[in-house]
Amino acid sequence: MMRSVLLLRAARRVLRCSRFTVTPAPARHVYSLQSIILPHVPASSSSFSSSFSSTPTTGQSSLSSRSHTCGELRSSHVGQEVTLCGWVQYLRQDLFVILRDFSGLVQVLIPQEESQRELKDAFCGLTVESVIKVKGRVRLRPEGQRNTNMSTGEIEVCAESLDLLNTCRKLPFEIKDFVKKSEALRMQYRYLDLRSAQMQHNLRLRSRLVMKMREYLCNVHGFVDIETPTLFKRTPGGAKEFVVPSGEPGMFYSLPQSPQQFKQLLMVAGLDRYFQLARCYRDEGSKPDRQPEFTQLDIEMSFVDAAGIIALIEGLLQYSWPEDKGTISTPFPCLTYKEAMKDYGVDKPDTRFGMKLVDVSETFQHTQIEFIRNVIAHPGGCVQAICVPDGAKHLKGKDMEFLKQTAKTQFNQDVDCMLVKAEGSIKSPLSRLLPDTTRLQLLLKMSAKAGDLLLVAAGAQERVRPLLGKLRLQCAELLEGRGVPVRDPSIFNFLWVVDFPLFLPKEDEPEQLESAHHPFTAPMPEDAHLLYTQPHKVRGQHYDLVLNGCEIGGGSIRIHNAAQQLYVLENVLKEDPSLLSHLLEALDSGAPPHGGIALGLDRLVSIIVGASSIRDVIAFPKSFKGHDLMSHAPSLVPEEELRPYHISVLWPSAKHGRDNKP
Amino acid sequence: MMRSVLLLRAARRVLRCSRFTVTPAPARHVYSLQSIILPHVPASSSSFSSSFSSTPTTGQSSLSSRSHTCGELRSSHVGQEVTLCGWVQYLRQDLFVILRDFSGLVQVLIPQEESQRELKDAFCGLTVESVIKVKGRVRLRPEGQRNTNMSTGEIEVCAESLDLLNTCRKLPFEIKDFVKKSEALRMQYRYLDLRSAQMQHNLRLRSRLVMKMREYLCNVHGFVDIETPTLFKRTPGGAKEFVVPSGEPGMFYSLPQSPQQFKQLLMVAGLDRYFQLARCYRDEGSKPDRQPEFTQLDIEMSFVDAAGIIALIEGLLQYSWPEDKGTISTPFPCLTYKEAMKDYGVDKPDTRFGMKLVDVSETFQHTQIEFIRNVIAHPGGCVQAICVPDGAKHLKGKDMEFLKQTAKTQFNQDVDCMLVKAEGSIKSPLSRLLPDTTRLQLLLKMSAKAGDLLLVAAGAQERVRPLLGKLRLQCAELLEGRGVPVRDPSIFNFLWVVDFPLFLPKEDEPEQLESAHHPFTAPMPEDAHLLYTQPHKVRGQHYDLVLNGCEIGGGSIRIHNAAQQLYVLENVLKEDPSLLSHLLEALDSGAPPHGGIALGLDRLVSIIVGASSIRDVIAFPKSFKGHDLMSHAPSLVPEEELRPYHISVLWPSAKHGRDNKP
């Protein structure tokens, strides 16, 4: 045995030295000044030894045929012999090749001497985006030719040999960040789109962020990374769950929207600190900027309270935050659901700017305007307003029309646009119905100054608040469109929103309650007794994490008592508890108190890198119709290949035809 | 804005101190000697501050209601006040509660004084597996009561208060490793099964292993963790791929068996060091110890050769290898496919033991045995044997029958069992046909001694080798069943197998070639010219990683030249290249030379922890029929919920009925 191992090792070294050292490129041509002498791999047993010559043992060039990356070369490398691999960005005047890899660009000097004619011709024949290996020596660029806009702009590499690894023949668009491509073209040629500096940055930042998150959870807090199944049981009525036919007739798996049940079962199992970067699935048809599959950082902990989870997540984000994005300070501010709705008209407020909602009902208490008087007289009726600073100065008539249109179509509400004039006068269809006292009181209450725009709406509070919350965001967008900075894209305003109601009336059946988040959220301890009497008044131990107006996470302390969970399912939600019998049994088998959270990774990363769509932080996203434009998924599957799954396609024309008698 | 943030922070501190500190357990009873005084959270902005009192800021008890884990207490903790949370393992004589969490067991002393009657009663009323929080002081156990078999056996905790967090009412089996449960029961109550020390160990080791792998790839070698889609396009004829109906009639996604195409496209995209812990799917019906979803460590690199990938993986395993499993030395031995087949009759040999195949054709060159003479006369015919040390001593007649049965049913071959006797005689039906010279030559060639068993088979080489390879493993198993150690379970024999043929004849159509692994594997450079003339002779740049006889990984250097890839698809494999047009286009757009590997994580972990099934290293596995016995997936989905996907179920009885005219 031992002898054979030794023989094998010897054989292995031979293998490494001979068979595997030749680059197996069929279309490969080596143009070389000096004959390439591959040094023998030393006969050590180091596992890091590679067949390549000048390769470092660690770092981004380890174990490969390059000695350095293009973007790392500086004046400190002057005099060194380097081997670079990369893509031809462009040629300049038959003098230079600009070579690119993920790390950046470097200038390669093409030899001009007549004796190196062959090498020069080879360089000059290169097509853009071809892949080459260049060996050469680093030197300082001549005085006056340094480029301070380029991180490698102090140096250039004097080429000594060229190895054409692959020729680029097709190119539907140039690999330059400033070249605008249609979204469809970017998706079809995703492998080219990903070569852009921006996409390289986005995906690499995402990878580093996730690595830091894992380090924090595993190494700092002892969490266990556990994978849960994605072939699961369909949730009854889970309309957004993809189904996966199994080999048994009529039996389907489903792709879960989150590992909620599994993470709770892991707590019952005593795996008391669980996390997972979990792939989740949601079939939402063609909603903009949604993906049928997405990733969440999924966390669950036992023997914890909401403050513990909140502190964990604050620490997580602080620990993993990219260095070049500044620092974030903790604890994050915290608003109750009520406060958020009152001030911002939305449960995920963007706190980077003001324009808060103000209740001006009192101001209009004695108004002559009959419509408003009627509204205020109704219970729940109110007049509310937001003040858009310099809105009157910057927004145009068509902007106001756009705002009114939103109010009408999305909220069936009127909104009054009041332009505040120099002398404190107001320009509005209502202005002649406003006595001076009302006008002054309104301006004072809104802290409005000349040039501002007031948006005033009267109606039921639960409609007026979301309306003004929406208009507030639209005004910010409109102002930014006119060049007025409102939201600083370089700041990151994290915010916790808490004290959500545990149940909400069903939209189509307001007598019935449904879970505001999911049926496993625990009630606030001080509200728990209301479960049995006034469930609509119970607040849940739920917390949402909001970043710059986007909900990037949500979680809760869960119900860990089987009787309470059964009561919520059966008596409050009127659901069939037998469908969750395994969870109820588990809660009765020694379930610890537990809670958790899930962060939407795609959205978080897209905000950090300032991407306008989550598609820009996903390597191979689907189009908004759910198509992969590169490989053309989904695609037709022949009927005989569906037979093992006991399904057949209901073609739209045949759909009703089947019932027809001949 | 700033003021409101400050207010929010103050509010937040109040929130943390009041609302969230009460454990929200509805069935909670606190029995306490001392009134619990919750110290105020200091008014610092440290994100690590929690509402709990004695919580450490990092480690496995951070941010939670425990101060220590049960299993970490030692004599160095004597005198400390500790808070523990865990499950009641058992009560002993109303004197002790044995408390368990993931880290181990600890003995809690129940107070016996009459003044603490209420607390004692509460303890004595606890049911097994109930969840409690205990506060108490650590003390040394009295002399003579120390338990050296228990890591916390030097100490005990004198209980001062008890908090019943949840009562365990149901328990289908005891949570003790030595209690044998049926596999079905373990799966149905997986959340209880996972509480066992063995399952806790397996899942936690898996998490740590994966974390170290990520550190090695990201931090040591600059790899980028990139997620690829699992809703992909169906591979034509991909019979093992689950289909996922989309919202468009007849259009299906499929769940891919591996991210092969995506990882290659990432290389074309210049993301030159990719890895992913990738969820993969394979519908194999009810194969034993296979799972419909499994995880592989998926790696791809540009500008690399096979030696580079091999060195990377050796370094990876060495870096991430669990400390308590010894060290592994690199480089791993390496066998060619031919050598492996010749010596072990299999391409994934278990090299922990000998019993290698020996060709004894020469010995039988002049044999009288007609059958053997005929075999040898045929081209490719041979006589081969293995020697089972002490096989004649330990194996019974029924064992021999079992071996012969295997030969007959699985290989349609006869095998002769020769028992080597004390004086060098052989007991076998053939023995009287063996002249002394043949017999002595055979014993010499096989290094056989008295008590050994020779298994001899004559036939076509490509059938005899796999047969003896199989019998070799069966003999090892049979011997171990009789108490003879053959394979040391504590050693880990890694082995590379290389030089596989690139193409193999199709089983049902031997004129036609198919890929031995997949159509993207590059040929050996020195064999590449044979592609166009004798493709069956081409060896591929493929490498398999074998551990103790299991294939745990495989990979290759890929074809990066579009013309070569097209030739292989179109001319060698006779496939329609238009189905891979996106990949061919990508190769023509500046594809770097690249290669990679995938390691089967479930199998690797199961070998490391010595599990008999991969189900023991997966939190929620499916049964061998693909069922989740806990939640009952897959399940029936009502017809109306399938309608959005334009599919209907073909019920077996209705299947043919549709064509019937009424």
Q: Give a yes or no: residue A576 inside a domain.
A: yes
Please judge whether B229 and A622 are an interchain contact, meaning their C-beta atoms are less than 8 angstroms apart: yes
Residues B227 and B259 in one domain: yes
Residues B392 and B278 in one domain: no
Give the pLDDT confidence score for residue A237 in this predicted structure.
67
Please judge whether A279 and B227 are an interchain contact, meaning their C-beta atoms are less than 8 angstroms apart: yes
Closest approach of A332 to chain B, Cα-based (Å): 7
Residues of chain B positioned with their CB less than 8 A from the CB of A636: 250-252
Residues B221 and B331 in one domain: yes
Give the pLDDT confidence score for residue B275 in this predicted structure.
98
Contact between A454 and A387 under an 8 Å Cβ cutoff? The reply is yes
Percent of the residues in chain A that have a pLDDT greater than 70, as a whole number: 90
Domain boundaries, position A154: 29-37+54-166
Instruction: Determine the angle formed by the axes of helices A306-320 and B2-17, rounding to 10 degrees.
Output: 130
Closest approach of A408 to chain B, Cα-based (Å): 31
What region, left, alpha or beta, does residue B380 occupy, with left being phi > 0 and alpha being psi -120 to 50 degrees?
left
Instruction: Determine the angle formed by the axes of helices B197-214 and A197-214, rounding to 10 degrees.
Output: 150
Q: Scanning every residue of chain B, which has its alpha carbon at the shortest distance from the alpha carbon of A203?
A: B226
Partner residue opposite A293 with nearest CB, options B231, B250, B622: B231
Instruction: Determine the angle formed by the axes of helices B397-411 and B461-481, rounding to 10 degrees.
Output: 150
Q: Give a yes or no: residue A324 inside a domain.
A: yes
Q: Residue B141 is part of a domain; what is its CATH number?
A: 2.40.50.140
Residues A506 and A462 in one domain: no
Q: Scanning every residue of chain B, which has its alpha carbon at the shortest distance from the alpha carbon of A261?
A: B631
Q: Is the pLDDT of residue A328 over 90?
A: yes
Q: Is B610 on the interface with A (CB under 8 A)?
A: no
Give the pLDDT confidence score for residue A622 in this predicted structure.
95
B558, two tokens: 């890929």
User: CB neighbours (10 Å) of residue B315?
Assistant: 22
Q: Is A45 on the interface with B (CB under 8 A)?
A: yes
Residue of B133, B171, B217, B227 for testing the chain A interface, max A β-carbons within 10 Å: B227
**Among the three residues A166, A183, A202, which one is the final residue of a domain in this structure?**
A166
Q: Is A646 on the interface with B (CB under 8 A)?
A: yes
**Among the three residues A111, A140, A166, which one is the final residue of a domain in this structure?**
A166
Q: Give a yes or no: residue A507 inside a domain.
A: yes
B555, two tokens: 């990979």
Residues A438 and A521 in one domain: no
DSSP conformation class of A56: -
Closest CA to B70 of B123, B146, B132, B143: B132
- Distance of alpha carbon B587 from its chain centroid, rounded? 34
CA angle B265, B270, B274 (to 5 degrees): 70
Please judge whether A636 and B250 are an interchain contact, meaning their C-beta atoms are less than 8 angstroms apart: yes
Residues B466 and B505 in one domain: no
pLDDT in tens, A384-394: 999 999 999 99
Residues B528 and B402 in one domain: no
- Distance of alpha carbon A192 from its chain centroid, rounded? 21
Residues A474 and A503 in one domain: no
pLDDT in tens, A252-308: 999 999 999 999 999 999 999 999 999 999 998 767 789 999 999 999 999 999 999
Residues A472 and A518 in one domain: no
Residues of chain B positioned with their CB less than 8 A from the CB of A208: 218
Give the pLDDT confidence score for residue B171 in this predicted structure.
86
Closest approach of B142 to chain A, Cα-based (Å): 31
Partner residue opposite A47 with nearest CB, options B200, B211, B311: B311
Q: Where are the beta strands (DSSP E) in A362-441?
A: 381-388, 416-420, 426-427
Q: Give a yes or no: residue A524 inside a domain.
A: yes
Q: Residue B261 is part of a domain; what is its CATH number?
A: 3.30.930.10
Please judge whether A619 and B227 are an interchain contact, meaning their C-beta atoms are less than 8 angstroms apart: yes
Contact between A598 and A298 under an 8 Å Cβ cutoff? The reply is yes
Q: Is A40 on the interface with B (CB under 8 A)?
A: no
Q: Give a yes or no: residue A661 inside a domain.
A: no
Q: Give a yes or no: residue A255 inside a domain.
A: yes
Task: Name residues 368-387 of chain A within 8 A of B (Cβ).
Answer: none
pLDDT in tens, A536-567: 999 999 999 999 999 999 999 999 999 999 99
Task: Name residues 231-250 of chain A within 8 A of B (Cβ).
Answer: 231-234, 237, 239, 242-250
Closest approach of B572 to chain A, Cα-based (Å): 17
One-letter amino acid of B520: F
Q: Name, in order, each residue with C-beta under 8 angstroms of A122's C-beta and a sequence gap of 6 or more.
A: A29, A31, A162, A164
Give the pLDDT confidence score for residue A361 in this predicted structure.
96
Give the pLDDT confidence score for residue A175 in this predicted structure.
74
pLDDT in tens, A361-378: 999 998 889 999 999 999
Backbone angles phi, psi at A169, to 5 degrees: -105, -35
pLDDT in tens, A646-658: 999 999 875 454 4
Backbone angles phi, psi at A196, to 5 degrees: -65, 150
Contact between A370 and A491 under an 8 Å Cβ cutoff? The reply is no
Identify the segments of chain B with pLDDT beneath 70. Answer: 1-54, 177-178, 237, 286, 654-662
**Among the three residues A459, A481, A503, which one is the final residue of a domain in this structure?**
A481
Look at chain A and report how many structural domains it folds into: 3
> Rounded distance, CA B96 to CA B109, Å?
5
Residues of chain A positioned with their CB less than 8 A from the CB of B218: 207-208, 211
Contact between B544 and B597 under an 8 Å Cβ cutoff? The reply is no
Q: What is the DSSP string of B245-258?
A: E-SSTTEEEE--S-
Give the pLDDT confidence score for residue A38 in this predicted structure.
31
Please judge whether B271 and A200 are an interchain contact, meaning their C-beta atoms are less than 8 angstroms apart: yes
Give the pLDDT confidence score for residue A10 in this predicted structure.
42
Residues of chain B positioned with their CB less than 8 A from the CB of A301: 63-64
Give the pLDDT confidence score for residue A450 in this predicted structure.
96
Please judge whether B218 and A211 are an interchain contact, meaning their C-beta atoms are less than 8 angstroms apart: yes
Please judge whether B592 and A165 are an interchain contact, meaning their C-beta atoms are less than 8 angstroms apart: yes
Q: Is A211 on the interface with B (CB under 8 A)?
A: yes
Closest CA to A325 of A483, A101, A547, A477: A547
Contact between B647 and A265 under an 8 Å Cβ cutoff? The reply is no
Is residue B84 helix, strand or coil? strand
Q: Give a yes or no: residue A390 inside a domain.
A: yes
Q: Is A632 on the interface with B (CB under 8 A)?
A: yes
- Distance of alpha carbon B601 from its chain centroid, rounded? 5
Q: Scanning every residue of chain A, which has its alpha carbon at the shortest distance from the alpha carbon of B305?
A: A20
Contact between B184 and B173 under an 8 Å Cβ cutoff? The reply is no
Q: Residue B428 is part of a domain; what is its CATH number?
A: 3.30.1360.30
Give the pLDDT confidence score for residue B54 in this predicted structure.
59
Please judge whether B589 and A165 are an interchain contact, meaning their C-beta atoms are less than 8 angstroms apart: no
Residues of chain A positioned with their CB less than 8 A from the CB of B191: 265-266, 268-269, 586, 589
Residues B141 and B225 in one domain: no
Residues A468 and A517 in one domain: no
Residues A468 and A505 in one domain: no
The alpha helices in B53-129, defined as continuous H runs, are 117-124
Contact between A364 and A418 under an 8 Å Cβ cutoff? The reply is no
Q: Give a yes or no: residue B518 inside a domain.
A: yes
Facing residues of B98 across strands?
A: B90, B107
